[in-house]
Amino acid sequence: MMDIKRVISTIEKNYIKNNLKKGERIDGRGLWEYRKFKITTNTIASAEGSADVSLGDTKMITGVKYDIGEPFPDLPNKGVCTVMAELLPLASPLFERGPPDEESIELARVVDRGIRHADCIQTQKLCIKEEKAVYILFVDMYVINHGGNMIDCGGVSALGALISSRIPKGEWTEDGPKWTGEYFKGKELINELPLPITFGKISDIIFLDPSLPEELVIDGRITISVTEKEITSIQKSGTATFTREEIKILGEKAFENAKKIRKDLDFWQYANNSN
| pLDDT for residue 273 | 64
On whether the pTM is more than 0.85, the answer is yes
> Which residues contact residue 133 at a Cβ distance below 8 angstroms, ignoring those fewer than 6 apart?
68, 69, 70, 71, 127, 170, 172, 176, 177
| pLDDT for residue 190 | 93
Mean pLDDT by 10 residues, the chain (275 residues): 52 81 88 96 94 97 95 92 93 82 92 92 92 94 96 97 93 84 89 96 93 90 96 94 96 97 95 68
Residue 145 lies in a domain: yes
CA distances, 225 to each of 88, 127, 193, 265 (Å): 25, 27, 10, 17
Residue 21 lies in a domain: yes
| Cα–Cα distance for residue pair 48/166, rounded to 1 Å | 5
CA distances, 187 to each of 125, 166, 253, 260 (Å): 11, 11, 27, 20
Domain that holds residue 207: 4-270
| pLDDT for residue 11 | 67
| pLDDT for residue 36 | 96
Q: Which stretch of DSSP H or E encloses residue 155?
A: helix 150-163
Residue 168 lies in a domain: yes
Residue 20 lies in a domain: yes
Per the CB < 8 A criterion, the answer to whether 200 and 86 are in contact is: no
Residue 275 lies in a domain: no
Domain count, the chain: 1
CATH number (domain holding residue 241): 3.30.230.70
Residue 186 lies in a domain: yes
Q: Between vectors from CA 57 to CA 207 and to CA 14, what angle results, nearest 5°?
A: 45
Residue 144 lies in a domain: yes
- 67 phi/psi in degrees, rounded to 5: -140, 170
